[in-house]
Amino acid sequence: MKSILTSALLASTAFSSVVPRAGQKVDYDGFKALRVTLPEGSENLKTQIEDLVAHVLNPGKKELDVVVAPKDIAALKALVIESKVINEDVGAALKEEGEFKAYAVPSESWFTAYHPYADHLQFLRDLQAGYTSNSAIFTLGNSVQGRTLTGIQIWGAGGRGSRPAVIIHGNVHAREWITSMTTEYFAWQLLTKYASDANVKAIVDKFDFYITPIVNPDGFVYTQTNDRLWRKNRQTVSGNTCVGRDINRNWPYKWEVTGGASTNPCSETYKGVAPGDAPENRALSAQVNTLRDSRGIRLYLDIHSYGQYILWPYGYNCNLRPENNAQHQTLAQRAQAAIRAVSGTAYTIGPSCSTLYATTGSSTDYTDVTGNATYSYTYELRDTGTYGFTLPANQIQPTVRETWAGVLSMFKDA
Ligand SMILES: [Zn+2]
């Protein structure tokens, strides 16, 4: 782990092109993804494993999915009770993600390949340009490296800013590429179907949508230039060589609670030095606060991968439930059924801490309590670990379509 990250780190300071360059990126050929089972009470062991592996893919769980170099596999197996190979060759899986395609004006074909960051911005601008009377580009603030957090606002018959807000964030974790494609598909559907689909018209007339497909642009670019499996932002830590805060452990609500994030700057879930000390997080919480104080927030969606979950508060305490827990559950059950009806894809639903793992300083706890959102959900999209974050390009359309069915159901019910 250390040697890989150090070399990636050195390379990262030299350039910031969105086009991956040969020889600069971490090479995962021959690396395996393993699902390992740890003995009870194994916090020290977790740290040892973090030091040994290239990445922990699902930090927080008891069964860890990890990516490990061939030379370290034996050492890893010696540490754990049980291990199962979930991907024989992570490098080969990366190649199945497909090549970037040249950018074309927005069309359904956008959703057949992954894209460089600059093209994502162009997609939003071009989409907005086709629907100037009921959409606008907005910005929330800047990332550590000065990239602008860019989104699209969509409204209906009531006019701009006249309805309760639906806030949607994508790609807060840099390696979760399917999530920006999916949130863009929501915007695409809302705008292109407004005139022709009565269901879509009804929901666009009911809400103001604020969709930001990539809220961690620095991390996203870094996954394209240096390390495909990078998760955090690209913020340095004083006195430490490790880089990055987990923006979804940095929200200023219950940030100080222990057990749901890491205080180690080298960890995948490093929470930062103080609540809200990641500039990306400040931009996001300011958006939540502003919309809370204007028309109010009806629904907040934070789109992640992977695991196939729909989760709601709380993350910081496994015994607490929101006041409207029953309604959260009803909406999630209907979304789960809508997804299954499209493709058969099975989602697990429930309150996040008790269903998946504890998280502190996370988005949905903040939007529920501080943002006073009526509904707050985290989606974890496809798959359940086979490809993990590097879902092949031929799964983009099936994923965005089934997820659209799920969120459309929520938009109707909310
Ligand atoms: Zn995530």
pLDDT of residue 321: 98
Tokens coding 243: 């880089």
158 alpha carbon to ligand 1 midpoint, in Å? 34
pLDDT of residue 334: 98
pLDDT above 90 as % of the chain: 85
pLDDT (average), residues 330-350: 98
pLDDT of residue 96: 86
pLDDT of 343 higher than 90: yes
Q: Which domains does the chain have, with CATH numbers?
A: 2-96 (3.30.70.340), 108-222+271-413 (3.40.630.10)
95 alpha carbon to ligand 1 midpoint, in Å? 22
Measure the CA angle with vertex 205, ends 204 and 206; round to 5°: 90
**What Å distances lie between residue 75 and 34, 52, 164, 372, CA to CA?**
13, 8, 53, 47
pLDDT (average), residues 24-40: 90
305 alpha carbon to ligand 1 midpoint, in Å? 6
pLDDT of 213 higher than 90: yes
Instruction: Give 12's pLDDT tier (boundaries 50, 70, 90).
Output: very low
- Distance, in Å, from the CA atom of 50 to the CA atom of 115, rounded to the nearest integer, reads 30
133 alpha carbon to ligand 1 midpoint, in Å? 33
90 alpha carbon to ligand 1 midpoint, in Å? 19
Measured in whole angstroms, the distance separating CA 134 from the mean position of its chain's CA atoms is 27
pLDDT of residue 163: 98
pLDDT of 314 higher than 70: yes
Instruction: Give 20's pLDDT tier (boundaries 50, 70, 90).
Output: very low
- Residues in Cβ contact with 409 at an 8 Å cutoff, skipping those fewer than 6 apart: 331, 334, 335, 337, 338
Return mean pLDDT, the chain. Answer: 92
173 alpha carbon to ligand 1 midpoint, in Å? 5
99 is catalytic: no
pLDDT of 2 higher than 50: no
Reference 191, options 155, 151, 138; nearest CA is: 155
160 alpha carbon to ligand 1 midpoint, in Å? 31
pLDDT of 235 higher than 50: yes
pLDDT of residue 15: 31
pLDDT digits (tens, 9 = 90+) for 361-400: 999 999 999 999 999 999 999 999 999 999 999 999 999 9
- Residues in Cβ contact with 237 at an 8 Å cutoff, skipping those fewer than 6 apart: 243, 245, 265, 270, 273
Residue type (1 letter), 321: R
Reference 57, options 407, 275, 357; nearest CA is: 357
- Distance, in Å, from the CA atom of 332 to the CA atom of 324, rounded to the nearest integer, reads 12
pLDDT of residue 46: 85
pLDDT of residue 17: 29
pLDDT of 4 higher than 50: no
pLDDT digits (tens, 9 = 90+) for 243-278: 999 999 999 999 999 999 999 999 999 999 999 999
pLDDT (average), residues 145-158: 98
**Given the residues 50, 268, 380, 402, the one annotated as active site:** 380
pLDDT digits (tens, 9 = 90+) for 181-195: 999 999 999 999 999
pLDDT of residue 230: 98
